[in-house]
């Protein structure tokens, strides 16, 4: 079942039966080229229920609503699903009167954050080891990796270098709950300690979707309607992480100790050590390393042979060095990565 942390919906005006206008601030906008004016109504921040961040409508336009899983109160970690999405609408009962069925069928999702919380017991290790393993496992050089380690933020991020926003964040949600902006939310809970303790035993995976195209493609949906995306069975976060790692569903365990055995081939061993030196000098930056060897081997087939086809390929050596750099066994990395991918796929099944 799909889980969302945040949704931005475009709700057709025909679904709105009534509005408490006193809850809104009104501004008038003028198009300086045509002189045409339009009114913009925005829900005052002081009137926003917990979990509702924005409610706006303009003259002759759909109403835009942005809400997060915080509207679920004690069920926050469950995320927004097809079973509870209406609670974002229920939170606005004293502000707008709506046709919920019409919203379900006709509302369009403009932005969304898909999320999965993976239990640490199902992976068999702690949050730090999982994040380190995924850092080592990443081999798609079109994504940059970032690490965070502070009192309120621990985790990693893989950010694509494409024009379209491509990002997955993997982090400790229990620390995120301690941020100042979550103070009122925690106060609203009947048992904040339980939520903190549950989040501490999990690791959150979250992907941002910011365009109609990415929503349709990633959720395998014909349109980006609320109904279609809520009912999608596409393992979105699994697929995104898999793309970032550039791996199959199951990574073959790499026994890197075999790389120390060169069958008395001195030249192969010298080549191996030389490649290690170059990778280290280029500060393990996968994109820079790739460009360096593309310049060294301008013929594309020659480059591909040395980059990933040959037995002791540059890519394999680079991954091995990353595992040594992060002080984690390569076989353990593969095992953890396999379990994470499995749990992410299972979460949507």
Mean pLDDT, the chain, rounded, equals 87
The average pLDDT across 210-217 equals 93
Q: Is residue 20 part of a domain?
A: yes
The average pLDDT across 76-86 equals 97
Dihedral of CA atoms 294, 295, 301, 306 in degrees, nearest 10, equals: -60
Look at residue 255 in the predicted model and tell me its pLDDT. 35
Domain boundary among 50, 81, 106: 106
Q: Is residue 48 part of a domain?
A: yes
Counting the structural domains of the chain, the total is 2
Range of the domain at 277: 256-346
HEC assignment per residue over 174-193: HHHCCCHHHHHHHHHCCCHH
Look at residue 265 in the predicted model and tell me its pLDDT. 61
Per the CB < 8 A criterion, the answer to whether 219 and 109 are in contact is no
Q: Is residue 330 part of a domain?
A: yes
The average pLDDT across 103-126 equals 96
Q: How confident is the model at residue 282 (pLDDT cuts 50, 70, 90)?
A: confident
Q: Three-state DSSP class for 222?
A: coil
Report whether pLDDT(263) > 70. Answer: no
Domain boundary among 60, 79, 106: 106
Which position has the higher pLDDT, 59 or 148? 148
Look at residue 51 in the predicted model and tell me its pLDDT. 96
The average pLDDT across 105-132 equals 95
In whole angstroms, give the CA distance from residue 60 to residue 99. 19
Q: Is residue 288 part of a domain?
A: yes
For the chain, give the longest Cα–Cα distance: 83
Domain boundary among 106, 136, 163: 106
The average pLDDT across 76-101 equals 96
- Kindly list the distances between the CA atom of residue 83 and the CA atoms of 87, 93, 123, in Å, as whole numbers in the listed order: 9, 18, 27
Report whether pLDDT(269) > 80. Answer: no
Per the CB < 8 A criterion, the answer to whether 55 and 170 are in contact is no
The region of weakest confidence among 22-36, 264-278, 308-322 is 264-278
Q: Is residue 10 part of a domain?
A: yes
Q: Is residue 316 part of a domain?
A: yes
The average pLDDT across 111-124 equals 96
Report whether pLDDT(254) > 50. Answer: no
pTM of the predicted model over 0.85:
no
pLDDT for 172-181, tens place per residue? 999 999 999 9
Q: Calculate what percentage of the chain has a pLDDT beyond 70.
A: 91
Report whether pLDDT(302) > 70. Answer: yes
Report whether pLDDT(40) > 60. Answer: yes
Per the CB < 8 A criterion, the answer to whether 33 and 267 are in contact is no
Q: Is residue 287 part of a domain?
A: yes
Which position has the higher pLDDT, 287 or 262? 287
Q: Is residue 333 part of a domain?
A: yes
């Amino acid at each position: 079942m799909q889980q969302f942390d945040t949704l931005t919906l475009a709700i057709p005006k025909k679904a709105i039966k009534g509005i408490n206008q006193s809850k809104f601030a009104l501004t008038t906008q003028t198009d300086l080229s045509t002189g045409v004016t339009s009114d913009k109504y925005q829900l005052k921040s002081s009137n926003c229920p917990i979990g509702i961040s924005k409610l706006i409508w303009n003259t002759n336009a759909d109403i835009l609503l942005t809400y997060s899983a915080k509207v679920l109160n004690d069920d926050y970690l469950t995320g927004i699903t097809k079973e509870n999405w209406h609670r974002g609408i229920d939170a606005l009962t004293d502000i707008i009167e709506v046709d919920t069925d019409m919203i379900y069928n006709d509302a369009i999702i403009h932005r969304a954050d898909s999320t999965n919380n993976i239990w640490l017991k199902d992976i068999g290790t702690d949050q730090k080891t999982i994040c380190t393993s995924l850092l080592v496992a990443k081999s798609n050089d079109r994504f940059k990796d970032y690490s965070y380690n502070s009192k309120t933020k621990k985790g990693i991020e893989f950010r694509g270098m494409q024009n379209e926003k491509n990002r997955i964040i993997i982090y400790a949600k229990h620390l995120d709950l301690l941020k100042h902006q979550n103070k009122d939310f925690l106060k609203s809970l009947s048992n904040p300690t339980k939520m903190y303790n549950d989040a501490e035993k999990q690791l959150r995976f979250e992907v941002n979707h910011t365009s109609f195209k990415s929503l349709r493609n990633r959720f395998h949906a014909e349109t980006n309607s609320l109904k279609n995306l809520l009912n999608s069975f596409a393992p979105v976060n699994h697929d995104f992480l898999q793309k970032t790692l550039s791996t199959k569903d199951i990574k073959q365990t790499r026994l890197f100790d075999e790389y120390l055995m060169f069958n008395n081939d001195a030249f192969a061993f010298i080549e191996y050590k030389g490649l290690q030196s170059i990778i280290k000098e280029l500060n393990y930056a996968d994109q820079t390393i790739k460009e360096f060897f593309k310049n060294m081997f301008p013929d594309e087939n020659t480059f591909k042979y040395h980059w990933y086809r040959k037995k002791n390929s540059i890519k394999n050596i680079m991954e091995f060095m990353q595992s040594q750099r992060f002080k984690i066994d390569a076989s353990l990395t593969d095992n953890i990565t396999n379990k994470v991918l499995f749990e992410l796929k299972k979460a949507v099944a």
